[in-house]
Amino acid sequence: MAIIKRVNRSKVADAKAPDSTGQANGVRKAVFQGNRKKTVGVDDLTLLSKISEDEINKNLELRFRNGEIYTYIGHVLISVNPFRDLGIYTMDVLKSYQGKNRLETSPHVYAIAENAYYQMKSYHENQCIIISGESGAGKTEAAKQIMQYITHVSKSVGTEIEKVSKIILATNPLLESFGCAKTLRNNNSSRHGKYLEMIFNPSGAPIGAKITNYLLEKNRIVHQVRNERNFHIFYQFTKSAPQKYRDAYGIQGPESYLYTSASQCFSVDGISDDRDFQGTINAMQVIGITEAEQDEIFKVIAIILWLGNIQFQEGPDGGSVITDKSISEFLGYLIGVSAPLIEKALTIRIMQTQHGSRRGSVYEVPLNPTQALAVRDALAMALYNCLFDWIVERVNRALVTSDRSANTSIGILDIYGFEIFENNSFEQLCINYVNEKLQQIFIELTLKTEQEEYVREQIEWTPIKYFNNKVVCDLIESKRPPGLFAAMNDAIATAHADSAAADNAFAQRLNFLSSNPHFEPRQTQFIVKHYAGDVTYDTMGMTDKNKDQLATDILNVVHSSSNNFLKSIFPAPQETSARRRPPTAGDRIKASANDLVDTLMKCQPSYIRTIKPNQTKSPQDYDTRIVLHQVKYLGLQENIRIRRAGFAYRQAFDTFAQRFSVLSGKTSYAGEYTWQGDDKTACEQILKDTNIPPTEYQMGTSKVFVKNPETLFALEDMRDKFWDSMAVRIQRAWRAYVRRRSEAASSIQKLWNRNKVNVELQRVRDEGSKHLQGKKERRRYSMLGSRKFYGDYLSASKPNGTLWSTCGLSSSDSVIFSMRCEVLVHKLGRSSKPSPRQLVLTKKALYLVITKIVDHQLTQQVEKKFSVSSIDSVNLTSLQDDWVAVRSKSSPDGDMFLRCFFKTELVTVLRKINRQIKVIVAPTIEYCRKQGKTLIVKSQKEETANDYDYYKSSTIRVGTGLPPNSVSKPFPRLATGVSPAVRQPPAQATAKPAPVKRAAQPRQQPLPQPVKQNKPPAPVSQAKTTQPSPPAAPSLYEINQTTQIFPAEQSSSPSSAPQPIESPAATKPTAFATPSQAPRAPPPPAPPAAPQKPLYIALYDFAGRSANEMSIKKDETLEIVLKEPSGWWLAVKNGSEGWVPATYVTESKDSTMSAETPVNNGDSSPGVNNLAGSLADALRMRASAVRGSDDEEDW
């Protein structure tokens, strides 16, 4: 018997436990005492310091009074009936035993079930659980809990498997109703034996079952002692039958029938007949018993009940007659025969004489009332016995399996225990005989066979004496010399026609057994000295019960019935042969008991020995005398001695070597058995490599014997750890593979998503290029492969942003395009000059936003607004300039004429929103400056202008661009293993540029390009870094302002012409760009003489809000070193630099002007150095000049 450590099957492995260092060690350590609560006494009787029956009894009593009803003797479980609910069969308790060996948990019936299931699944060996003990000791409850446990732990996914599990569990309430009854010793006593064999597939899931029935107590149908009851089903049916059965079968209460009222016991404490009847019906439905079959079952119950109410009185001819003819008539209706036929079968016996093999005469012999009652009772018992056998067979049909892979099983034997009454007859002899056979199995497997195996395997062993009850079994079943069953058969054969004569003949034959030391004859009685005690049996009526034959005329009545169900459950009448007598009840019981023994001997057994603590069924009483008697006849003392001296585990060499080969590097490699020598040497090598001391095991001739179960558990634990380690390695490799696959998938998804976006952007770009294809020269930076149409470059779509609020947008407005641009504004007495604006396009309207100074604060206003539907056309020149005229059909303020670096994108999105907008490309642009005032702007090539245009006197001058039929380059491919730079849209127009720590160099050197950010960043240190980060791409407005070129400068100094500057998209740094790919910058011009620096005076107090903002006080003198068009100037005060608002300072009148051309601030011309008094005065002067001028050329 192998009891081994195993991992939990029903749940995911526990989280890895940290080792002493706090880190996960990868394999959970087995803790055998982890789930065990503190116990009282010893939970294994082999641990008793003194082995005696009194010490065993004291330990059991101590545990019983503390609610501990289970105790081990090795792998044998001792169970004491508590006669109360201890709460130890809950689902939580059940799960706590799942996957555990018996040393990890407290003794329990679940531990026995778990061990049997694991042995069956691991070793593919059939298992059986033998439950033995007195009647009322708790055998049926133990069997029920074992079934509950096994069906739970073997539960698998699958409709058929779940159905089988439900049917197996449903057999309990069904067979309890038809096979259990209240006795003086037990309120739910099994009055039949049952062997349930659960069949499993190779994966351990139940796929079928088979029930074998033994020794139904038929006599209980017709007779019960006082305070006992008939079978439960009679009381359930008479109390809770539906109205249809009461009407059809005439069902009344149990007090109305002789078979249910003779004992005057109708109710039982703790049993609800109404609830149990519903449970019986539900069980029938689960098993698949149809409603029609249920009707027939309950009709047979009704027939038995009414049959018991038939009474007889002596007739005039000395025979007997039925006192109430109405009962026989109703019985005829239920059975399906005529009433006279029933009356004749019950009151007249038909006898037939024989002469050798020939038939003789037939006689009708009247029966007296006593004999008629015996016939009535015999018919009732036969009806119920046949019905019970049919129910068992019907259950087996529901549980039968055709799966050929089913090769393992677990059997559960629940048979009523040893019985000793005041009057013991044939039934008690049969029951006690079966219990003797079970005790013999226990002796054979745990005492006799074990010691014989030690001798056979040449194991060092000191024999232990024990009582072998085989002599008692032979006394009952032997043929030579004849035993009790053989003596009864001889008596029946001698006087078969007269029961009394047969009983006397049987009593005389018992004298031949008087020499047997376990037998004692006493006139009409005899004593058998069973293993459980001496029992006195009465010989009166034994031979008739052993004959167990129903009269032929009774069988003929049943088979003449119109009820097909009755005819199907009854055996057909057979012709009696003179040469061969029919088998008696004793013959059938002996054959069934031997078949049961053969079945059990083919299985690996587990034992549960039940003990009844008292005869009063009280949860408080513990009768020491009664328990001590049971301890003695169960042989617990001998069992303990053998267990302490023996070996807990034995296994064949080949099986042991195969199972534990992974524990030695010499017997296996990577889990494969690689040993080349014999199996015995392999076992020795494994035990040596696992450091098992030689005192813990012995090597036999064909098996290895392990003394203590702890040693086996250690081996199993090491084996589990090996496979756990292998599983962890596989899991680690799998997780690495999954991680790599996930990362690859993520990379592919990112590339795909980015490529999908790029494809869409490229599609939009190429679609926009078609509008200008072959019509307009292209700027080379517009044809770069990295050029993408992002749309919202000013983040105008940000809710509650400055542009969002200025344009009055709502959540339904979607910003499609936003960009800085320039429009022409006139200066007093001068040519029109570009002025910065911001352009915002939604699906509904096009907004032109201006930034003004109001009350010395920068504010934004909508200067013009065109609805998209009102836009008629977009006009462009055929050269590479960036000027666009957006013409409206109905704008009173005139059209929009603006310079936009991303003109192609603007044209594309306008056409995408409104397909009716015309794109006109011509040498000149015609537009309305205001309503009724049409202007024509010419375009002219001027090679000195290079890539950048400039406007003067209604003429746009620009260098030669790429041919009109030029095609954009494809998107650049990313270098392998390099992540692409993320393109961030430009910040809003009100962002402050970062101050740049200026190096000590002449002022004639070109100023560094300001980097546009949300707040003025801290000055950059001059410290040299190993790899400086590439600067952010400058915005359109910043490029335009920092590279502003005037015509006079261009003509007078050609060498100072502006150099090509990339667009924001073109200058976007990427991870794969190299210095060699950037446009080569021209050499700087010769530095002029250092100019004097102008001074500025603070007009107001300003408190800096960040580290790179300078706090100033009113009237403080500052030096301005850099002016940004965003409204922030870089100032120097007392040697420190910082940003100040341009509106907070003004140039000092005493300062010396710089020789350098001042930076244009958008709304002021190069020749104007201040606001000329006030902004209002300047505006009035401008209006007056416009009204008095006849020359529109500059406007």
pLDDT tens column, 1137-1154: 888 988 889 988 765 443
With a cut of 60, say whether residue 950 has pLDDT above it: yes
Neighbouring C-beta atoms of residue 436, cutoff 10 Å = 23
Give the domain CATH number at 867.
Answer: 2.30.29.30
Single out the catalytic residue among 104, 419, 457, 1062. 419
Give rounded-to-5 percent helix, strand, coil for the chain.
40, 20, 40
Tell me the pLDDT tens digit for each residue of 888-901.
888 788 899 999 98
- In the set 57, 171, 172, 190, the catalytic residue is 190
> Would residue 377 count as lying in a domain?
no
Contact 101, 3 (CB under 8 A): yes
Containing structural domain, residue 913: 773-958
Q: Report the C-alpha gap between 128 and 596 in whole angstroms.
A: 11
| 492: its two tokens | 């029946």
pLDDT of 1172 strictly over 50: no
Residue whose C-alpha is closest to residue 89's, from 162, 175, 34, 147:
147
Element (H, E) at 523: none
d(CA 1065, CA 787): 6
- Gyration radius from the chain CA atoms: 55
Give the Cα separation of 127 and 120 in Å (integer).
6
Whether residue 481 is preceded by a cis peptide bond, meaning omega within 30 degrees of 0, is yes
The verdict on whether residue 134 carries a ligand-binding annotation is yes
The pLDDT value given to residue 355: 56
pTM for this entry: 0.57
Higher pLDDT, 931 or 704: 704
Contacts of 846 (CB under 8 A, 6+ apart): 839, 840, 865, 866, 867, 868, 871, 886, 896, 910
User: Could you tell me which of 824, 920, 823 has the C-alpha nearest to residue 871?
Assistant: 920
pLDDT of residue 301 exceeding 80, the answer is yes
- Please state the rounded mean pLDDT for residues 218-224: 92
What is the pLDDT, as a whole number, of residue 1104? 82
Beta strands 1145-1147 and 1095-1098: pairing type? antiparallel
Q: How confident is the model at residue 1042 (pLDDT cuts 50, 70, 90)?
A: very low
CA distance linking residue 1032 with residue 554, whole number of Å:
112
At CA 166, angle to CA 164 and CA 171, rounded to 5? 95
CB burial readout 756-766, b (16+ within 10 A) else e: eebeebbebbe
> Quick one: pLDDT band at residue 37, thresholds 50, 70, 90?
low
Cβ atoms of 417 and 610 closer than 8 Å: yes
419 is annotated as an active-site residue: yes
8 Å CB contact between 245 and 302: yes
Q: Which residues contact 558 (CB under 8 A, 6 or more apart)?
A: 335, 566, 567, 570
**How large is the average pLDDT for residues 843-856?**
89
Q: Which residue has the higher pLDDT, 1047 or 407?
A: 407
The total number of structural domains in the chain stands at 1
Does position 811 have pLDDT exceeding 60, yes or no?
yes
DSSP 1039-1051: HHHHT---HHHHH
Asked if residues 1004 and 1087 have their Cβ atoms less than 8 Å apart, the reply is yes
Q: What phi and psi values does residue 361 have, to the nearest 5 degrees?
A: -85, 155
pLDDT band at 576 (very low <50, low <70, confident <90, very high): low
Closest CA to 539 of 582, 497, 510: 510
Q: Which of 274-288, 335-349, 974-988, 997-1011 has the highest mean pLDDT?
A: 274-288
**CA distances (Å), origin 147, targets 164, 320, 529, 924:** 12, 51, 35, 99
Reduced to 3 states (helix: H, G, I; strand: E, B; else coil), residue 32 is coil
Indicate whether 710 pLDDT > 70.
yes
Q: Is 139 annotated as a binding residue?
A: yes
Of the candidates 1008, 999, 1005, the residue with the CA atom closest to the CA atom of residue 1088:
1005
- Confirm or deny that 138 is annotated as ligand binding: yes
Sheet holding 1117-1123, edge to edge: 1136-1141, 1128-1133, 1117-1123, 1095-1098, 1145-1147
Q: b or e along 1006-1018 (b: 16 or more beta carbons within 10 Å of the residue's beta carbon)?
A: eeebbbbeebbbe
Considering only residues 629 and 36, tell me which one the structure prediction assigns the higher pLDDT: 629
Residues pairing with 673 in the sheet:
668
Identify the active-site residue in 57, 79, 140, 795.
Answer: 140
Residue 978 falls within a domain, yes or no? no
Closest Cα partner for 443 from 507, 531, 379, 566?
531
417, 483, 961, 1138: which is the annotated catalytic residue? 417
pLDDT value at residue 50: 86
Q: Decide if pLDDT at 229 tops 90.
A: yes
Mean pLDDT of 363-386: 91
CA distance 140 to 208: 21
Candidate list 136, 179, 193, 308, residue with the active-site label? 136
- pLDDT tier at 134, thresholds 50, 70, 90: confident
Give the per-residue pLDDT at 520.
94
Residue 153 within a domain: no
> 3-class DSSP state for residue 1123?
strand
Q: Is 186 a catalytic residue?
A: yes
Per the domain annotation, does 784 fall within a domain?
yes
- Please tell me the predicted confidence (pLDDT) of residue 129: 96
Distances 433 to 576, 586, 967, 1137 between C-alpha atoms, Å: 29, 10, 107, 114
Q: How confident is the model at residue 832, as a pLDDT?
A: 78
- Name the pLDDT band for 931 (thresholds 50, 70, 90): confident
**681: CB partners within 8 A, 6+ apart:** 675
839 lies in some domain: yes
Check 46, 81, 135, 795 and give the catalytic one: 135
From 273-277, 823-827, 1191-1195, the region with the lowest mean pLDDT: 1191-1195
- Name the 3-class secondary structure at 376: helix
Percent of the chain surpassing pLDDT 90:
40
The answer to whether the beta carbons of residues 539 and 531 sit under 8 Å apart is no
Active site residue 250: no
556-565, 600-609, 882-891, 941-950: least confident range: 941-950
In a domain, 363, yes or no: no
More confident residue, 1087 or 523: 523
pLDDT band at 689 (very low <50, low <70, confident <90, very high): very high
Give the torsion through C-alpha atoms of 752, 756, 759, 765, to 10 deg.
-140
Position 22 confidence tier, pLDDT thresholds 50, 70, 90: very low
Mean pLDDT of the chain: 80
Total Cβ atoms within 10 A of residue 52: 11
The verdict on residue 611 lying in a domain is no
* 133 has binding-site annotation: yes
Q: Would you say residue 1090 has pLDDT above 50? A: no
Question: Which stretch of DSSP H or E encloses residue 18?
Answer: none
Q: Is 898 inside any structural domain?
A: yes
pLDDT digits (tens, 9 = 90+) for 159-195: 678 888 999 999 999 999 999 999 888 888 888 999 9
Known catalytic residue at 417: yes
Residue 975 — pLDDT band, cuts 50, 70, 90? low
Lowest mean pLDDT among 353-362, 616-625, 1134-1143: 353-362
pLDDT of residue 699: 92
Instruction: Give the total residue count for the chain.
Output: 1195
Residue 549 predicted with pLDDT over 90: no
- Residue 742 labelled as part of a binding site: no
Give the least confident one: 135-149, 427-441, 442-456: 442-456
In this structure, which amino acid lies at residue 561? Answer: S
Determine the pLDDT at residue 556.
85
Q: Among 591, 215, 598, which residue's Cα sits nearest to residue 441? A: 598
